[in-house]
Structure 1
Amino acid sequence: MSDPAAKAAVEERAALLLAVRRAGVRDISVMRAIETVPREAFAPYKFRDLANRNLALPLGCGQTMSRPADVGRRIEALRIGKGHRVLEIGTGSGYGTAILARLAWEVVSLERFETLAIEAAPRLAALEIANAAVLHADGLAPEATLGEFDRILVEAALDAPPAALISMLSPGGTLVYARREPQAGEKRARQRLIKVDRTESGEPHETDLGPHSLGPAASGLAKAL
Structure 2
Amino acid sequence: MEERADEGPSIEARAALLLQLRRAGVRDLSIMRAFETIPRELFAPHRFRDLAARDMSLPIGCGQTMPAAAALARRLEALRIEPHHRVLEVGTGSGFGAAVLSRLAREVVTIERYETLAIEARQRLAELGCANVEALFGDGLAADETRGYFDRIILHMSFHEQPPHAVMAALAPGGAAIFGRYAPPASADARPSERLALSHRDGEALWTTSDLWPCRLGAALNGRAKAL
- What is the TM-score of this pair, normalised by structure 2? 0.93
Task: Find the counterpart in structure 1 of residue 131 from structure 2.
Answer: 130
2:163 equivalent to 1:161:
yes
The one-letter amino acid paired with 1:191 is E
The one-letter amino acid paired with 1:167 is A
Distance 1:4 1:162, change over 3 A: closer
> Secondary structure at 2:142's aligned position in 1?
coil
Task: Find the counterpart in structure 1 of residue 177 from structure 2.
Answer: 175
Give the alignment partner of residue 215 of structure 2, picking from 188, 195, 212. 212
Extract structure 1 runs of 4+ deviating beyond 6 A. Answer: 2-6
Taking the aligned partners of 1:3 and 1:125, their CA distance within structure 2 comes to 26
Q: Answer with 214-223 or 182-191: which moved more.
A: 182-191
> Secondary structure at 1:73's aligned position in 2?
helix
Taking the aligned partners of 1:194 and 1:19, their CA distance within structure 2 comes to 23
2:100 equivalent to 1:99:
yes
Structure 2: give runs of 5+ residues left out of the alignment: none
Q: CA RMSD in A?
A: 1.8
Task: Find the counterpart in structure 2 of residue 203 from structure 1.
Answer: 206
Taking the aligned partners of 1:79 and 1:128, their CA distance within structure 2 comes to 24
Taking the aligned partners of 2:163 and 2:146, their CA distance within structure 1 comes to 19
The one-letter amino acid paired with 1:219 is N
- What is the TM-score of this pair, normalised by structure 1? 0.94
> Secondary structure at 1:126's aligned position in 2?
helix
Taking the aligned partners of 1:182 and 1:34, their CA distance within structure 2 comes to 34
Number of matched pairs: 223
Taking the aligned partners of 1:186 and 1:30, their CA distance within structure 2 comes to 40
Give 1:25 deviation, angstroms. Answer: 1.3
> Secondary structure at 2:134's aligned position in 1?
strand
Taking the aligned partners of 2:221 and 2:33, their CA distance within structure 1 comes to 32
Identity among equivalent positions (%) equals: 53
Task: Find the counterpart in structure 1 of residue 191 from structure 2.
Answer: 188
Taking the aligned partners of 1:56 and 1:188, their CA distance within structure 2 comes to 21
> Secondary structure at 1:91's aligned position in 2?
coil
Give 1:64 deviation, angstroms. Answer: 0.5
Structure 1: give runs of 5+ residues left out of the alignment: none
Taking the aligned partners of 1:15 and 1:188, their CA distance within structure 2 comes to 35
